[in-house]
Amino acid sequence: MIEALTSGLLAGYGIAIPVGAIGVLIVTLAAQVSLRHGAAAGLGTATADGLYAVAAVVSGAAIARLLQPAIGVLRAAAAVVLVAIAVRGILTAVRARHAAADATQPVPTGSAARTYAVFVGLTLLNPMTIVYFAALVVGYQGHTADSADGRVLVGTVFVVAAFVASASWQLLLATGGAILGRVLTSPRGRLITALVGNGIIGLLAVRLAWQAVS
């Protein structure tokens, strides 16, 4: 249970902390429109992360039961996937370090509910998120409870923890946007958050690799 909670929190923060296009839009909304719209956007993004976590838990559990004899190999493969995601995220951030900020991205306006729905859709369009969560699920499946009820409970803890972690960061982004404006969306700010977030992903990869050889 503690492992599922920890994995969920790390997963949520790992996918949420790097400030990409969605993070920039959240900060921009909070800075240019209102904190309420920024918070709605952040919760929309966190909801999509939660939905991806649910999909990964459900499919990951089924696949893990079929491939249980090869769980060590799967953990090693999952570690490789996470390393690739982390390296890709860091390299992308470094390449964009000296690029000018994109000032042409559309900023949704209207009701907070509409903003929430728009950001759920925008985040769901990111296929890297499902790959990320699926890799993490493979990593902890071997340590879940044997009973069906136990697996459901562990999966629920993972999903809720991932959602809470993502939501807390997205709301922090919105609050920061309302207070600090463009600081977090500057090239340096995006580089720092990318290094932190992808560093967390790298640590998760090390953890899975350790589990694979132990």
List the single range of 13-22, 57-66, 172-181 with lowest mean pLDDT. 57-66
Q: Distance between CA 66 and CA 83 in Å, rounded?
A: 25
Q: pLDDT: is 188 or 46 the higher one?
A: 46
Residue 156 has pLDDT above 90, yes or no: no
Angle between helices 35-66 and 2-16 (to 10 degrees): 130
Confidence at residue 201, expressed as pLDDT on a 0 to 100 scale: 67
Q: What is the dihedral of CA 133, 134, 136, 139, to 10 degrees?
A: 170
Task: Render pLDDT for 100-148 as a digit per residue (tens, 0 to 9).
Answer: 444 444 444 568 898 899 889 888 876 566 667 666 666 555 455 556 6
pLDDT digits (tens, 9 = 90+) for 41-60: 999 999 988 888 887 777 76
Mean pLDDT across 153-175:
89
Average pLDDT, the chain: 74
Q: What is the pLDDT of residue 154?
A: 78
C-alpha closest to that of 17 among 46, 44, 41:
46
CB 166, CB 42: distance < 8 Å: no
Say which residue, 11 or 68, is predicted with more confidence: 11
- Considering the chain, what percentage of its residues have pLDDT values greater than 90? 11
pLDDT at 103: 45
Let me know how long the chain is.
214
Q: How far is CA 93 from the centre of its chain?
A: 16
Which structural domain, as residue segments, surrounds residue 156?
2-213
Maximum separation of any 2 CA atoms in the chain, in Å: 53
Looking at the 3D structure of the chain, how many domains does it have?
1
pTM for this entry: 0.65
Q: What are phi and psi of 130, to 5 degrees?
A: -70, -35
Q: Which of the two residues, 83 and 137, has the higher pLDDT score?
A: 83
Per-residue pLDDT, 40? 94
